[in-house]
Structure 1
Amino acid sequence: MTMNMKSGEARTKRRGVWRAAVRGLALACISLPGAALGFCLSLLSIALIPVGVGLVTTPYVLSGVRAFANWRRVLAAEWGGVRIPREYRPLPDGSKPWSRTLVMLRDPATWRDLRWLAVDMTAGCVTALLPAVLLFYPLEGLAIAAGLWRLLDGGDGYWFGFVRVHDQGSAFSAGVLALLLLFFAHFFTPRLLDVHFRLTRAVLGSNQGELAERVRVLTETRRDAVDASAAELRRIERDLHDGAQARLVAVGMDLGTIEALLDKDPAQARELIAQARRSSAEALTELRELVRGIHPPVLAERGLGDAVKALALRLPVATEVSVDLPGRAEAPVESAAYFAVSEVLTNAVKHSGADRIWVDLHHTDGMLRASVTDNGKGGAVVEAGSGLAGVERRLGTFDGVLAVSSPAGGPTMVTLEIPCA
């Protein structure tokens, strides 16, 4: 079985080498004429703007260049796994050609496209052609070693690389060189194609779009964190006001009454003392519940795994918890993960109709992952005002993500990930 797996991997790698060479050859054949045509037409159209012709033709030419660049972005993503964002400024709808021309010429992405065309028909063509050359050129050396050099010999011999083939011995040397090149092609052909796509990203892409997106995400998560903190403070204030504070006020009033009744009605005073003791015990219980809601003691003392297990024991639904954590994360990360899992479990108990729940906690690749699966009716969605939306906002503060798979009829699987060491 192991040998079959190894042979399968070898076949897959060979197919990857040939695929990279063929794709590189196709890109080279497209890069030179396509980029050259787009570059020359763009320069000609822009040059004709002062005489008025370019005002009409430039939007169409640049739109074609953008379509060509976007197509290459798709190939870079599909063939090389290199993603190049599109960062064109929006064009006004229903505008005249000259206004579209001005908008496109003011767009920095337009000039990046033109620079990329110049690079693509030169260095881009070379880097795309290298994988094919590295794989196909040694085939010529093997043909020479097989005796084809006699047909190609023009009297002075035939050169293959640095070997001058003029007899059977030099032909054998050419064959050895060809095999050596094929050996290198087996390992480096796919990587050379990656060089082409990375060159494309270096010229065609820009970090501004990624930075702007990062700033937008950070702004939203900061606003969500501020809103969540304000809501949490209001909840704590409301719980203290309506619960423990009201009971402590009642205890104080009872103590005042007891003080006045000690000499007049000792029996009534004893009843009020017992009532005050009960009220103080209830206030203490509510304070403990409030503290547990802010940061459970078991979470602080024993970590996320044991805290989730303790949480599962209190659920009315049979819950199985699997924990594989090599250590403890930072306290804010543990707290966020605990309350996120708690909210997901609460939703599962309330809305799924499940009779069994599975929780899995593990850490891999620098990510704390938690998944909650139930065998309920499904149909869970992340929408505004829902508990899952609140979980998503909580995780966003830590650059975490939430994924929900809940087809109609179930099962439902909610997965959350938080980056952490």
Structure 2
Amino acid sequence: MKLPARASLETRLSAVRFLLREAMSWPASLGVLVAAVVLLPFLPLGVGLYPVPRLLAALNLLASRAQARAAAYSCAVVPFDRRRLEDRYTFGELAVLVSAPETKRDVSWLLFHGAFALLSGCLAVALPLAAVLYVFAAPLWVLFPPATPLELAFPVTSWPAAGATVLLGLIYGYAAWLLPPWLARRLSGGTLAILSPRRYDELSRRIQDLSAARASALTAHAAELRRIERELHDGAQNRLVGVVMMLGLAQRAAESDPAAAAPFISRAQDAATEALAGLREAVHDIYPPILDELGLGGAASALTSRSPIPCSLDVHGLLRAPAAVESAAYFVLAEALTNAAKHSNASRIDVVLRTEAIPREDVLVIRVSDDGDGGAAVPAYGAVPGASTGPGPGAGRGTGLAGIARRASAFGGKLILNSPQGGPTELRVELPCAF
């Protein structure tokens, strides 16, 4: 089926725009490549290790933007998330990072982009300009004096030479019509092919992620069962034992003096009421009924209104999610607010709940920020990229943060904690809705 002329022209203009964007990003790619070459001789001396994280971060940023541009032009979906990089690494972590498959792919793309991006962009601009110049300037050769003839591909001093120049311009125009889409397809396809992990690598990474999520889910489930058993044993069970004892005493008292049984019955009633309240609280901790009644936004509003620290809540852009995800988000927010109230010394907390759309699925994002002392850290079990690991007010005491990390991992999500000494602290939890 033949495309209409308008659609065909738009296709070629889109290709030219893509090639020009790639050409404009070429100096940044060249700068990173030159910096890497200059840094290479200093790596064995150890001096070059300090700028390596920033260099890798710059390379990762360039590659991610190039991948996004190529995917947008090709109408392709990138079926994976790029890695997140930190500012500081140990020598061993840095060695692993430099030799990682992602780094090798980024370096391969850098060489590919440095070799072809500028050339493709120049061709996309030079060919149509040359076509217009040769076709329209060649007939004007008669206006030039014989001593200084018109110089294009060759001196134009006669009508046959002018005709040859016009013909050459038409060839340039034909090439300008055909070549940009072909170049854009090759450049975008090469970018996506280089930066996308091989299917085996992607499947292997996915299996590792699923195994980690399964282990986290089992750990979180076991922790929940232990918590529920502890609450029932220490709370409702003890109160029910007290009810049985009070009723037994009341029965004995009623045999000799019915009036003496009344206090025991009253105490048994009080204990039964407390046991019922404990059972309701335990059921609430399994799945809060308020989620069914008001949704996550309303439940979050109830949590923030009970916080001892003034809270602001933003639920703009929040969509409904599966019940299990909303329940996890509710407990994550409750634990985060509790941690902030206990340890942060903050005067204000900002809570944002929203649903972010990514190519593969929707992600429920919980962001809790406070203006407190900072220095919070995720314990070793829950350490994730972006988490603080240094000593501070939160170090070593964060069973709540570890629980949040376990909940996020059980759903294939992640916890990102940014809490420098002196504050502020920002906690971000991402929960995939299609877990």
Deviation at 1:137, TM superposition (A): 3.2
Mapped to 2, the partners of 1:200 and 1:270 lie a distance apart of 82
Mapped to 1, the partners of 2:160 and 2:431 lie a distance apart of 66
The answer for unaligned runs of 5 or more in structure 1 is: 1-11, 27-69, 86-108, 159-164
TM-score (norm 2): 0.62
Give the SS at the match of 2:154. helix
Task: State the match for 1:81 in structure 2.
Answer: 67
Measured at CA, do residues 251 and 336 of structure 1 come closer, stay the same or move farther in structure 2, by a change above 3 Å?
Answer: same
Give the SS at the match of 2:427. strand
Measured at CA, do residues 197 and 323 of structure 1 come closer, stay the same or move farther in structure 2, by a change above 3 Å?
Answer: closer
Task: State the match for 1:19 in structure 2.
Answer: 24
Q: Is the 8 A contact 2:22 2:118 kept in 1?
A: no
Task: State the match for 1:197 in structure 2.
Answer: 191
Deviation at 1:168, TM superposition (A): 7.9
* Bigger Cα Rg: 1
Give the SS at the match of 2:426. strand
Within 5 Å, which residues of 2 pair with 1:326-365? 327-365=319-357
245-254 or 383-392: bigger deviation: 383-392
409-418 or 128-137: bigger deviation: 128-137
> Does 2:300 align with 1:308?
yes
> Does 2:428 align with 1:415?
yes
> Does 2:367 align with 1:371?
yes
Q: How many residues align?
A: 321
Q: Is the 8 A contact 1:262 1:269 kept in 2?
A: yes
Mapped to 2, the partners of 1:396 and 1:390 lie a distance apart of 10
Task: State the match for 1:95 in structure 2.
Answer: none
Deviation at 1:296, TM superposition (A): 1.3
Mapped to 1, the partners of 2:331 and 2:60 lie a distance apart of 40
Measured at CA, do residues 333 and 251 of structure 1 come closer, stay the same or move farther in structure 2, by a change above 3 Å?
Answer: same
Task: State the match for 2:257 in structure 1.
Answer: 265
Task: State the match for 1:51 in structure 2.
Answer: none
Deviation at 1:332, TM superposition (A): 0.5
Task: State the match for 2:154 in structure 1.
Answer: 151
Deviation at 1:140, TM superposition (A): 3.4
The answer for unaligned runs of 5 or more in structure 2 is: 1-16, 31-55, 69-79, 83-100, 139-150, 381-395
> Does 2:241 align with 1:241?
no
Give the SS at the match of 2:315. strand
TM-score (norm 1): 0.64
Q: Is the 8 A contact 2:23 2:118 kept in 1?
A: no
Give the SS at the match of 2:255. coil
296-305 or 128-137: bigger deviation: 128-137
Mapped to 2, the partners of 1:409 and 1:284 lie a distance apart of 44
Measured at CA, do residues 213 and 274 of structure 1 come closer, stay the same or move farther in structure 2, by a change above 3 Å?
Answer: same
Show CA shifts across 1:360-393 (max 9, x none): 1112312211211111111122223722232122
Q: Is the 8 A contact 2:26 2:117 kept in 1?
A: no
> Does 2:209 align with 1:217?
yes
Identity %: 37
Q: Is the 8 A contact 2:300 2:330 kept in 1?
A: yes
Give the SS at the match of 1:380. coil
Show CA shifts across 1:165-210 (max 9, x none): 61687577568658767xx85x8866642233234457xx522222
Deviation at 1:328, TM superposition (A): 1.9
Measured at CA, do residues 337 and 157 of structure 1 come closer, stay the same or move farther in structure 2, by a change above 3 Å?
Answer: farther
Mapped to 2, the partners of 1:315 and 1:237 lie a distance apart of 27
